[in-house]
Chain A
Amino acid sequence: MAEPFLIGEAMTGGYGGADILHDCTIAVEKGQIAVIVGPNGAGKSTGMKAIFGMLKLRLGSVRLNGEDITSLTPQARVAKGMGFVPQTNNIFPSMTVEENLEMGAFIRRDDIRGTMEQIYELFPILRDKRRQAAGELSGGQRQQVAVGRALMTQPSVLMLDEPTAGVSPIVMDELFDRIIEIARTGISILMVEQNARQALEIADKGYVLVQGANRYTDTGAALLADPDVRKSFLGG
């Protein structure tokens, strides 16, 4: 089996104290969607942060496109083509939508107008609101700004930490549609989700984490079909 595009392999570590992750492996293929689900406190977000370099790993490694990036800072990983959308505080509230996108492209020195245009195509509402302060937008629109900001670096992997937390079901469906669209352009998506069922429906690969370790790993459809998974994690 060929090496996945992005893989956090056998990750063990935590925020200084006791380990939160135990020999946990998460990977995503090029242009695919991988979803991490699991109960509260299972280490879902921690697993994603570990891949993004926001906590120190005691064991294991993170590789992007075959290159070992375990020791890089999050900023350096952004430069390597990883985009990250935090769960909360993921926009610059007092700045306009357009400035938010500009700040997303801060490390780029080339012309960013094309990328910005692509993002406006993807999220047309942002074009209408581009002169408005991002903090004044609705929850769903803010999430679009947040995703748009992360896409401004033209990443090869986009990591989303619970992108649908606190938005209405309709907005959630729309966001998932957009995420599929993004994946179709060849960007790999790694996502942590509370809404496990809906997320697994769009997932190529699903990871069910329990207490910081892999419990089930399979395609999204297979996990949805697995009676054990359904019973324990999807509410029947």
Chain B
Amino acid sequence: MSLTARDLGLFAIMFAVLALVATFQSPQLAVTILNMSLISAIMALGVNMQWGYAGLFNVGIMGFTAVGGLAVVLIAQPPVPEAWAAGGLGVLLGLMLGVATILAAVLVYKRMAPGKLRGLAIFAVLVVGFVITSQVFGPATQAVQAVNPASEGYLGGAGLPVILAWPVGAVFAAGVAWLVGKVSLGLRSDYLAIATLGISEIVIAVLKHERWLARGVNNVTGIDRPVPRPIELQPLPWVQSLAETMGWSVSQAASVVSGLGYSALFLIVLAILIWLAERALNSPWGRMMRAIRDNEVSARAMGKDVTRRHLMIFVLGSAVCGLAGAMMVSMDGQLTPGSYEPLRFTFLIWVMVIVGGSGNNWGAVLGAFVIWFLWVQVEPAGRWMMEMVTSGMSLESELRRHLLDSAAYMRLLTMGLALLLMLRFAPRGLIPER
């Protein structure tokens, strides 16, 4: 758990920059950046466990965070009784039938002797199971989706406190990770990358398409928040006096306070995770993981079950990503499957880990802060730059409009360059592993 003076200095600079944002741009922006940085830091921590400790390349971070986000809806939203009455049992039965089909196929695979007959039997089981399942499942979901489609049309959640959704999100992500890991770990390392890329696309497809589950692309909004809303804070006298002393408007002060409430929660989670991660890293277990990473062959020769260890760390890291995903949805108060983009949710996290310093938990956290800050700030900077470049052109110029419209994409470019430059010239990152 050692941070050098230099590391602390880097963090101090980062917070100073955020303070500048609060002063010169707006305090809300600073808090928003802070919160998203904290969430990103947790995601980066999860990825760093996989990559930094074990050398596993997970390109499906988006999927794991989205699954975590789904947990928030399923836990915190009130149930929709009419929908349950209309098709709840059918949906559950359908899901069970689906699982039963797969189990039956696995059973056939295990019990029968290899050969053409087995292949045919598995195929038959799958087809029959699929047909039966869809006969039950299809009408049930239709019925659910027909219930008050404008605002509901889904089964709703369990109506439990939203904080509970965070660990559940982690468990969800862990479950998905276990499945993926079971299939692709132990093979060539790139295969895990491709498999995770695939699963994350599928998770998003399911979220978008299965409207009975979480309303699909219609989004679930107005999810219960663990922190008072700005509206609820505005009438409070101490918020009003804070606004007065700081020279902010009351609404501004209320949203800053509300945001800082999240920050406090996130910080607690992050602190616990870092504490656990650092302890794990410096335990015999962590040393073994790194030994495996650095020389898999000799670790295997020493009798270590490398694939099992990898599966374990992969599941753990993905669970952390799921936790972060749940936190993000509960901060936004909404689940919008359409907004999950791999560039933003998978690859940006990777840039954070690499820039911060893979193998170092503090590095991942710092990387998350730096990169998220750049991600937010590069767009206006790019726009400003484009305006400078195009200032000589006439206002109606087609080219000028195009360039201004394109400023948003500058940040993809910048992030890619940051990744490439770090990888090449400072592959150990801002805070290197030690």
- Whether chain A touches chain B in the assembled complex (some CB pair under 8 Å): no
